[in-house]
Amino acid sequence: MQELLGRLRQLDPTASASLRVIACFDELMAGGVGTDGLLSAAAALSGSVVGVRRAENAPEIRIGTQGERLAAAAPTGIVRESNGMTVWIEAPSTDAGPNEAIIIERLVLALHVRYDHVDAPLKRDISVIVDHDAAAEDRVAAARRRGLEDGVAYRVVVAPLFALWRTHPRGPEDVVASAVGPVHVAIVAADAAPVASPLGVGIASDLNDLDLSFRTALVCLRLAEPGTVSRADDLGGLAEILADTPANARPDRDEAAVARLVAAHAWAPATLDALMQAGSVREAARLACIHHSTMTTRVAVIADELGIAPLDGLGRARLAVAVMRHRMRASRALELPPPSAKTSGHPLSA
């Protein structure tokens, strides 16, 4: 499936988008994701509220585009009836375009599979396990319900809903609402190595701190380059510092200076990355593949803008935190790559 996606992306972007939807639901079904998770995925992919009514007299379940439950309401928009079940996408038009058609088709199929195997709705334990605001005893109890054991180290891994999985996670998973939108979350053994493109891998922790592992995994996902796996272990303590930064926090002075540099100079992103990795101006020049004198000039521009020496003492730490915060704020890791030149107002449109 993933190889086919890559080939079709070059030939037919619309077909690629449809196959991404199919691949997304295949991954969620393989992971045993419940009703709310399936609806969250459909809502995020369609950019519209999505709902289901399991039977004629059953209550409606409606999920918003950020994965939040909404008040019950009658079906509207694009509606499908299937064996007594009603599924709908609250799109502006009642006519389904190619993307809405494939989303609702796969959602109906996934819900039938879910309902055929589970009579009672699954509790959304994963959302509780990774919720920093939930009581610690509730998080641990939810983890135990999902088969996680005391005294064992686990990691939370986070991927966008459209991620291309090369190695599927082995562990409980769900679609979870986060501060930056719905994400595919799995909890795996600390030494496991699931691979998706892109993927954020959190710190190792026991049952008490899986919420922190989730937050560091989300940091890593937002820092991930396209097609890469980003690991909290590579960031050390910076991962936890960044995890404690609210998604909507006002940029501090250093981050604002980095943003100005990036806006003003095309060379800034690569140069800043080189400075974070290097121990000297000469080494930074080598990493950036530029002459030593050119790097020296750029360092002077950066120092003037930030008001610090970026390679000295606390200046290095301030630069690293500022650059990473800027990269997180500017991250496009959760945006679906544009499938075509056609625009229709939702995430699957260019």
pLDDT single digits (tens) 192-216: 988 888 999 999 999 999 999 999 9
Q: Hey, is 145 helix, strand or coil?
A: helix
Q: What does the chain come to in residues?
A: 350
Two tokens at 171?
């562990």
Element (H or E) spanning 231, and its range?
strand 229-231
Residue 181: which pLDDT band, with cuts at 50, 70 and 90? confident
Cβ neighbours for 9, distance < 8 A, ≥ 6 positions apart: 16
pTM of the complete model: 0.70
H runs (alpha helix) in 224-312: 237-243, 253-264, 268-277, 281-288, 292-306
pLDDT at 299 over 90: yes
For strands 85-89 and 154-159, give the pairing.
Answer: unpaired
Highest mean predicted confidence (pLDDT) among 43-47, 122-126, 130-134: 130-134
CA gap 8, 346 in Å, rounded: 21
Contact 157, 220 (CB under 8 A): no
Enumerate the domain spans of the chain. Answer: 2-117, 125-243, 253-330
Q: Which of 119, 117, 137, 116 is nearest to 128 (CA)?
A: 137
